A = this chain, B = another copy of it.
């Protein structure tokens, strides 16, 4: 039964969590301040009141939280654990890398850990170094962990639902700058789809730009500016990074023969390198490939400094112009 709801990004996640809790008894949801206070970003508002002790606040113990998620999932629950910032998961990274990721493989499939870790990341103006990193590349180097980064209300709703019904650990990386965004009508109630998939955000023929996370809005803005420079960009949002929609990417690159990857993470060791490497290894003939991301620097707190570093519509347009005019 597909219904519509007018929600913003945070509201969409709230709606998805509510639905998981309502329709699936195995769901529990916990994290710091997510219960009675309804979450530092208000995302879980009302859930504790509605679902009682299935939604609860935890001590500031990320290792215990994620570990408890792994253990509960092993016993057949479908826990959703909120880690307030992905940066904070570093104190508990063992529970993701060495524990959650291994459960199914090492037990030869006798156990699984259908755990969803909801978290958010990224630099907003004024974020300090320890609250500003884009760390998806770490997770993408861990076999056994699935990762998505929704940026619209519909994507957020859908990916939370897919993550919940996935039989393996999924990290859903949200962004605090999006929670209070504009309301849009989204479909709710449809059968959750399998994890995976990308969204074609703009069709074009000259260059493929693949991106993920909130920087996609800069990419889209850049895409809109490009026609005036004679460039027609195709823009793919990789909502799911694992599994990644390689087929969609290949199709597009075969058409445009040019590729630009834009991510907010530091360039070196970021997932952009993986994408370029795969295009090379698959022998797709391209005339130009580049990455755009944060230079290899810790994020400074001052927005004045941060703005010098972060990719922007401007730098994205410039990269596209270079791809088309300087090197074709």
Residues of chain A touching chain B, judged by Cβ–Cβ distance below 8 Å, are: 63, 87-88, 90-91, 93-94, 97-98, 101-102, 105-106, 128-130, 133, 135, 137-138, 140-144, 265-266, 268-278, 280-281, 283, 289-291, 296-298, 300-301, 327
Contact = CB atoms under 8 A, between A and B. Distances in A.
A116 B39 CA distance: 39
B298 A289 contact: no
A309 B140 CA distance: 19
A291 B269 contact: no
| Residue of A87, A135, A270, A274 most packed against chain B (CB within 10 A) | A274
A272 to B, nearest CB: 7
A299 B300 CA distance: 38
Given A273-B273, A277-B276, A130 B98 contact: yes
Contacts of A270: 141
A128 B281 CA distance: 31
**How many monomers of this chain does the complex have?**
2
Nearest to A98: B130
Contacts of A93: 90-91, 93-94
A270 B278 CA distance: 12
Nearest to A279: B280
A141 B105 contact: no
A297 B141 CA distance: 10
A37 to B, nearest CB: 24
A106 to B, nearest CB: 5
A105 B141 CA distance: 26
A278 B280 CA distance: 12
A243 to B, nearest CB: 11
A308 to B, nearest CB: 14
Given A105-B300, A138-B141, A276-B276, 12 more contacts: A91-B94, A93-B94, A101-B298, A102-B129, A106-B129, A142-B269, A144-B298, A268-B274, A273-B275, A273-B276, A273-B278, A277-B289
A278 B138 CA distance: 19
B281 A277 contact: no
A280 B269 contact: no
Nearest to A62: B94
Contact of A98 (B90, B143, B283): B90
